[in-house]
Amino acid sequence: MSGTTTTKVLATYDGYQADFDRLQGGADAVRASAALKSLRQDAMQHFHRLGFPTTRMEDWRFTSVAPIASRPYALGGPVHVAADQISRFLIPDLPGARLVFVNGRFSPALSETKAVPTGVDIQTLGDSLAGGLDAVEPYLGRLAVVAEQPFSALNTAFLQDGALIRVDDGVVLEDPVHVLFISTAPGEAAVTHPRVLVVAGENSQVGIVESYAGLRDTEYFTNAVTEIDAGAGSVVDHCKILRESLHARHVGRMQARLARNAVVLSHSITLGAAALVRNDISAVLDGEGAECTLNGLYVAGRNQHIDNHTTIDHASPHCASHEFYKGILDGDGRAVFNGKIIVRLDAQKTDAKQSNKALLLSDQAQVNTKPQLEIFADDVKCSHGASVGQLNEDMLFYLQARGLGRARARRMLIHAFAIDVLNRIRHEPLRTQLDLALLERLPAAAEEPA
Amino acid sequence: MLEITALHASVGGKDILRGIDLTVNAGEVHAIMGPNGSGKSTLAGLLAGRAEYTVTSGTVRYQGKDLLTMAPEDRARNGVFLAFQYPVEIPGVNNAYLLKAALNEVRKHRGEPELDAMEFMALVKKQLEVLEISPDLLNRPVNDGFSGGEKKRNEIFQMAVLEPKLAILDETDSGLDIDALQIVAKGVNALRRPERSTVVITHYQRMLNYIVPDFVHVLAEGRIVKSGGKALALELEAKGYGWIDGAAAEMGA
Ligand SMILES: Nc1ncnc2c1ncn2[C@@H]1O[C@H](COP(=O)(O)OP(=O)(O)OP(=O)(O)O)[C@@H](O)[C@H]1O
Ligand SMILES: [Mg+2]
């Protein structure tokens, strides 16, 4: 076992093992097929071998997961949640199916599975895994690799439920599917391992909104994994919204593979008050002409640490990638942005753009930002830019000179900085909802530093 | 209305305004002319409340109150309006949204009810027509990508909607074509009331053909070195500032 080996951490591993044994052998196990059990077993072994990452590892240099590794999180159990408790996390006027999970388990009462067109399959992983792995093969676990990623391994070891969205070749699903993961830990700190698998057939189109929210200000840990397989010529629009509550810790991985001419749009919007967030977003451009866009926005306030690690792997020629991240930091908020772009030897005519901007609202806030270009081909266009700045005093003065109070002027400019990212989201109702969530998040951030 | 007495101000330790005395009464139009770098925009910015200037001595009273201790937004709400020489581009803030917010701040301060979106649009439509501004500019981010002339027109448009008591126009005529100049002047003149005052900063006499000043002042090296009636502007146009610089040297001696 690598990693930190304090007694606390050892107790954590023991705790996960005990929960794992209960999962594999307990009442729930009745529903699990032998194939699923062996998939979990294999993942659990990898997790023990890999261990929790430490800050000695390059990819985790600025983000310590010690708060996660040094305490036991019990496997989240079923809790009754009423519809009005989650209403503020829904997206009014966004048509389409909605799958709601509470503490990792599907809630039929809160969900709405409308009739979907032929050629579209929306189901819970709980259902699809009950009969074996046939429904998810060969996609599940192909992109989120348990042998290399400790948190993916842990997620797979506890694989129980989640969302499966499959769209057949040539089928266009107009309305995005909303998958909402709610955490509510009434007593002890709980962990959930949400899983989403999206398989887009050739020339198909599908949109997914994946949101994570906490109902109470209690400690919990969300360990999410999303895999997207975008078939040739498909268009996949994915939006991940974090509105986790105070004291929450969220580690999430989104892993996409793009076949020839596929287009993947990823929006990662981190609002909420979570103490620790680590987003790993990764796309492999695995066929000529593929195009991927990664947009991101985060707000890191007091006592928050938000880490966005993105990787774009140009594994084929004639592919394009655009990356656009913005962050707002105030209080003693911390953020990390690491944008890795790999251009493989034969990925000629690659066009890769990366931009990453941070707005610091206080002297104590801090951001570590790093582009990481690994270019092995010679005929490529690669550009990257990073900036860290404060609110512009000339703009503030202009607004004040028009009669706006300083706090209001600040809020207006912070919002203006962020709206740029939200404006890139295609679905209007989603944009509106996110704008409201952003505005709700901003007042604290608009206070003048002392 | 406005009473500036022996005003000295510096930026970053450098003295820029070096003893300004100026009184603007209600209903008057004053023009301020003067060479580049003489301190005209500094004076204008200082009156509007720009923070980077340090007043080292002197006083400014506005409507009998100490203007210098008021926050910029309070000055604006009390009727001070600065049309910027270089209006700032603010991507992400909608022009109409800002103007509505600004107007409602002023109205709140005056104890008038705030306008809703419909009432606001009705009021604004009138002014757009007077100033011949394309409604399209309303729905764009503030000054973002506006042409030089569009930015200046937008400043006057804001002024027309906000109806200030003391308007300070800092080189609003620079960058305007001849037609636009007349339109902007029409907008300014339409606002003229016995209870309102205007300070026009300009390099060109032409603007003063349309907005006729009661007084013309020459600012050089941080001081008002000469004041007169509108004829002074014509004289400056013909002779330049050279002859006054001499006068300034004499005065300083
Ligand atoms: N922030 C600053 N730091 C240093 N010097 C400044 C600053 N702001 C203004 N100045 C200086 O103060 C002087 C007066 O500038 P100001 O902009 O008031 O001139 P002006 O009369 O408006 O000129 P123009 O006709 O070119 O608009 C100039 O020498 C200018 O460089
Ligand atoms: Mg000037």
Tell me what pLDDT residue A315 has.
97
Torsion angle of C-alpha atoms B133, B134, B138, B140, degrees rounded to 10: -120
Q: Distance between CA A23 and CA B43 in Å, rounded? A: 75
Q: Distance between CA A221 and CA A191 in Å, rounded? A: 5
Residue B54 to residues A435, B17, B44, Cα–Cα distance (Å) = 39, 10, 14
Q: A269 and A241 in contact (C-beta within 8 Å)? A: yes
Ligand 1 atom with least separation from CA of B45: 18
- Pocket perturbation via mutation, ligand 1, pick of B7, B10, B16 by most ligand atoms within 8 A of CB: B16
Q: B221 and B19 in contact (C-beta within 8 Å)? A: no
When divided into structural domains, chain B yields a total of 1
Span between the terminal Cα atoms of chain B, in Å: 32
Q: What is the pLDDT of residues B30-42, one digit of tens each?
A: 999 999 999 999 9
CA distance B93 to chain A (A): 6
Q: Angle at which helices A7-25 and A34-50 pack, to 10 degrees?
A: 170
CATH number, domain of B174, equals 3.40.50.300
**Residue showing tokens 């000339």:** A394
Note the pTM of the prediction, 2 decimals.
0.92
Query: How many A from CA of A399 to the centre of ligand 2?
Result: 19
**Three-class SS of residue B40?**
helix
Nearest to A401 among B48, B52, B93 (CB): B48
Q: Distance between CA A221 and CA A219 in Å, rounded? A: 7
Q: Fill in the amino acid letter for A25.
A: G
Ligand 1 atom with least separation from CA of B35: 25
Tell me what pLDDT residue A77 has.
80
Interface contact flag, A393 B51, Cβ < 8 Å: yes
Token duo for residue A79: 């809790």
For chain B, give the mean pLDDT.
91
Strands (E), A53-138: 74-75, 98-102, 105-106, 120-124
Q: A409 and A399 in contact (C-beta within 8 Å)? A: yes
The answer to whether residue A88 neighbours chain B at the CB level (below 8 Å) is no
CA distance A418 to chain B (A): 8
Q: Which residues contact A108 (CB under 8 A, 6 or more apart)?
A: none
Among candidates A166, A442, A214, A169, which has minimal Cα distance to A328?
A: A442
Q: What is the pLDDT of residues A429-445, one digit of tens each?
A: 999 999 999 988 886 65
Strands (E), A231-302: 235-243, 248-258, 263-270, 276-285, 291-300
Q: Is residue B245 very low, low, confident or very high in pLDDT (cuts 50, 70, 90)? A: low
Q: Which residues contact A350 (CB under 8 A, 6 or more apart)?
A: A314, A317, A318, A319, A320, A321, A343, A377, A380, A381, A382
Interface contact flag, B50 A397, Cβ < 8 Å: yes
Q: What is the pLDDT of residues A358-400, one digit of tens each?
A: 999 999 999 999 889 999 999 999 999 999 999 999 999 999 9
Report which bound ligand comes closest to the CA of B20.
1
Locate the chain B residue with the closest alpha carbon to A411: B93
Tell me what pLDDT residue A31 has.
73
Tell me what pLDDT residue B249 has.
45
Q: Distance between CA A227 and CA A447 in Å, rounded? A: 39
Range 164-223 of B in CB contact (< 8 A) with A: none
Q: B211 and B176 in contact (C-beta within 8 Å)? A: no
Q: What is the pLDDT of residues A337-369, one digit of tens each?
A: 999 999 999 999 999 999 999 999 999 999 999
Q: A274 and A244 in contact (C-beta within 8 Å)? A: yes
Question: Is the pLDDT confidence value at A26 over 80?
Answer: no
Query: ipTM score of the complex?
Result: 0.95
Tell me what pLDDT residue B231 has.
87
Residues in A touching B48 (Cβ below 8 Å): 397, 401
User: Which residues on neighbouring strands pair with residue A206, listed in sequence order?
Assistant: A236
Q: Distance between CA B223 and CA B6 in Å, rounded? A: 10
- pLDDT mean over B94-108: 96
Q: Where are the alpha helices (DSSP H) in A246-341?
A: none
Percent of the residues in chain A that have a pLDDT greater than 90, as a whole number: 80
Token duo for residue B211: 């907005």
How many Cβ atoms sit within 10 Å of the Cβ of residue A137?
11
Residue B228: domain span: 2-252
Nearest to B76 among A394, A402, A419 (CB): A402
Output the ligand 1 site: residues, CB below 6 A.
B 11-12, 14, 16, 34, 36-42, 52, 85
Tell me what pLDDT residue A5 has.
56
Question: Is the pLDDT confidence value at B250 over 50?
Answer: no
Q: What is the pLDDT of residues A264-285, one digit of tens each?
A: 999 999 998 899 999 999 999 9
Give the mutation candidate from A359, A399, A423, A439 for the B interface (greatest B CB count, under 10 A).
A399
User: Which residues on neighbouring strands pair with residue A166, listed in sequence order?
Assistant: A121, A199
Interface contact flag, B88 A398, Cβ < 8 Å: yes
Sign of the alpha-carbon dihedral angle for A307, A313, A318, A319? negative
Lowest model confidence (mean pLDDT) among A331-335, A340-344, B215-219, B230-234: B230-234
Query: A119: part of which helix (H) or strand (E)?
Result: none
Residues in A touching B78 (Cβ below 8 Å): none
Rg value, chain A, Cα: 21
Residues B174-182: contacts with CB within 8 Å, 24+ apart?
Answer: B174/B85, B174/B148, B174/B202, B174/B203, B175/B148, B175/B149, B175/B151, B176/B149, B176/B152, B177/B149, B180/B149, B180/B152, B180/B153, B181/B206, B181/B207, B181/B210, B182/B210
Ligand 1 atom with least separation from CA of B203: 25
Tell me what pLDDT residue A444 has.
61
- pLDDT mean over A160-186: 94
What are the backbone angles phi and psi of residue B153, rounded to the nearest 5°?
Answer: -65, -40
Q: Distance between CA A145 and CA A285 in Å, rounded? A: 17
Token duo for residue B128: 């757009």
Q: Distance between CA A264 and CA A268 in Å, rounded? A: 13
How many Cβ atoms sit within 10 Å of the Cβ of residue A373?
15
What are the backbone angles phi and psi of residue A123, rounded to the nearest 5°?
Answer: -145, 170
Tell me what pLDDT residue B253 has.
33
Locate the chain A residue with the closest alpha carbon to B51: A397
Interface contact flag, B101 A408, Cβ < 8 Å: yes
Tell me what pLDDT residue B106 has.
95
**Residue showing tokens 């093992």:** A17
Question: Is the pLDDT confidence value at A449 over 60?
Answer: no
The answer to whether residue A419 neighbours chain B at the CB level (below 8 Å) is yes
Interface contact flag, B73 A397, Cβ < 8 Å: no
Question: Is the pLDDT confidence value at B251 over 70?
Answer: no
Q: Is residue B198 very low, low, confident or very high in pLDDT (cuts 50, 70, 90)? A: very high
Residues in A touching B142 (Cβ below 8 Å): 398
How many Cβ atoms sit within 10 Å of the Cβ of residue A423?
11
For chain A, give the mean pLDDT.
92
**Three-class SS of residue A268?**
strand
DSSP state of B115: P
Locate the chain B residue with the closest alpha carbon to A416: B92
Q: Angle at which helices B178-190 and B148-162 pack, to 10 degrees?
A: 10
What are the backbone angles phi and psi of residue B179, rounded to the nearest 5°?
Answer: -65, -45
Interface contact flag, A399 B158, Cβ < 8 Å: no
How many Cβ atoms sit within 10 Å of the Cβ of residue B88?
17
Residues in B touching A438 (Cβ below 8 Å): none
**Three-class SS of residue A67?**
helix
Tell me which residue has its CA closest to atom 31 in ligand 1.
B37
Q: Distance between CA B29 and CA B168 in Å, rounded? A: 10
Q: Which residues are within 5 Å of ligand 2 (an ion), measured at CB?
A: B 40-41, 85
Torsion angle of C-alpha atoms A324, A62, A390, A417, degrees rounded to 10: 30
Nearest to A406 among B73, B92, B105 (CB): B73
- Pocket perturbation via mutation, ligand 1, pick of B10, B14, B171, B199 by most ligand atoms within 8 A of CB: B14
The answer to whether residue A58 neighbours chain B at the CB level (below 8 Å) is no
Report which bound ligand comes closest to the CA of B15.
1
Residues in B touching A408 (Cβ below 8 Å): 101
- pLDDT mean over B157-171: 95
Q: Is residue A10 very low, low, confident or very high in pLDDT (cuts 50, 70, 90)? A: confident
Residues in chain B: 253
Report which bound ligand comes closest to the CA of B45.
1
Q: In terms of C-beta density within 10 A (0-12 exposed, 13-18 middle, 19 or more buried), how is residue A64 classed? A: middle
Q: Distance between CA A236 and CA A225 in Å, rounded? A: 17
State the count of interchain CB pairs (< 8 A) between A and B: 79
- pLDDT mean over A314-321: 98
- pLDDT mean over B198-215: 92
Interface contact flag, B162 A402, Cβ < 8 Å: yes
Torsion angle of C-alpha atoms A106, A107, A108, A112, degrees rounded to 10: -90
The answer to whether residue A393 neighbours chain B at the CB level (below 8 Å) is yes
Interface contact flag, B162 A419, Cβ < 8 Å: no
Tell me what pLDDT residue B191 has.
87
Tell me which residue has its CA closest to atom 1 in ligand 1.
B11
CA distance A361 to chain B (A): 18
- pLDDT mean over A279-297: 98
